[in-house]
Structure 1
């Protein structure tokens, strides 16, 4: 890839991770190597199982040890989450430095910043210094303005209607 850009998928609507994975699957079809690091995610999901079957060129990494949502966690559990998210972010920087990937997806990194597990400044510094040939895709609600300013593409997912509003819970194979 000659020039890797910065993409952001944010907003309160459904589909941010799905959009990023779609770009990654398309890229693998063209011979690119993709790494997705998932922040604040530990549950089993359909996309993990699918990506394991598709290709060795689309790797997914998780560092999360807890299985609770952030707002349900104790202070001690939040500290563990903070350490896990820093480990994940350091790993992302190492992957880029090695030059073995073409696309890096930082899934739910916006929530990691929103919950102050990573700082906006450190993520911005990474984006400013990333190798020119690596595309970086960031997902999650609450994208800080500083990240939006650095991005080349920003898509906001906006909910119009969602089955959850009717009391329909997340469905296996559709939402996770």
Structure 2
């Protein structure tokens, strides 16, 4: 722990594929250098290939999820949305505790922009959280539609831009590639 002297805030955004994949790649690189990586996945309840792969990198890389499996946000009832909001608040509290106690070197908040877009947390809360980042911790955020307040505080912003996608040719999401 604490092998980083200067931690930055990275954002992977855009409408293209690869935001979570880039964050995981960065996490794998960090874990390979014996940095401790925590990834908190928001708005993801389904089984994905990375869960099994990352298990093999324990104790250096761990994934945390707080939500039960559900459909897409726009398909949820008001009751399910309220339940989801509570789970996300619990996950965010976990993130705050991790930050405060410096439990890892790299903290990934996967799909946090989707949480903000759906107003499950406020932009102000996340900006406040980022401002409390320890000097020697890296934070990586993923998701579309980055609020300008987060863009301004970030040290690196990479936009994944879709030029062409095989979904347009009717290729469905494939196990091992998209999940």
**TM bucket, shorter chain:** over 0.9
- Does residue 72 of the first structure (1) align with residue 80 of the second (2)? no
Give the unaligned 5+ runs of structure 2.
Answer: none
Give the unaligned 5+ runs of structure 1.
Answer: none
Q: Which residue of 1 aligns with 2:141?
A: 138
SS in 2 for 1:54: coil
| 1:165-176 superposed matches below 5 A | 165-176=168-179
2:41 to 38, 42, 54: 38
Question: Alpha-carbon deviations, 1:66-93, whole Å to 9, x = none?
Answer: 4211011011101111111111111011
Question: Alpha-carbon deviations, 1:22-41, whole Å to 9, x = none?
Answer: 01100011110000000010
Does the CA-based 8 Å contact 1:114-1:142 persist in structure 2? yes
Does the CA-based 8 Å contact 2:23-2:140 persist in structure 1? yes
Q: CA RMSD in A?
A: 0.8
SS in 2 for 1:104: strand
Pairwise CA distance, 1:100: 2.1
| 1:14-163 superposed matches below 5 A | 14-163=17-166
Q: TM-score, normalised by structure 1?
A: 0.98
Pairwise CA distance, 1:97: 1.2
Pairwise CA distance, 1:5: 0.5
* Greater mean alpha carbon deviation, residues 20-29 or residues 47-56: 47-56
Separation in 1, partners of 2:174, 2:51: 16
Does the CA-based 8 Å contact 1:66-1:81 persist in structure 2? no
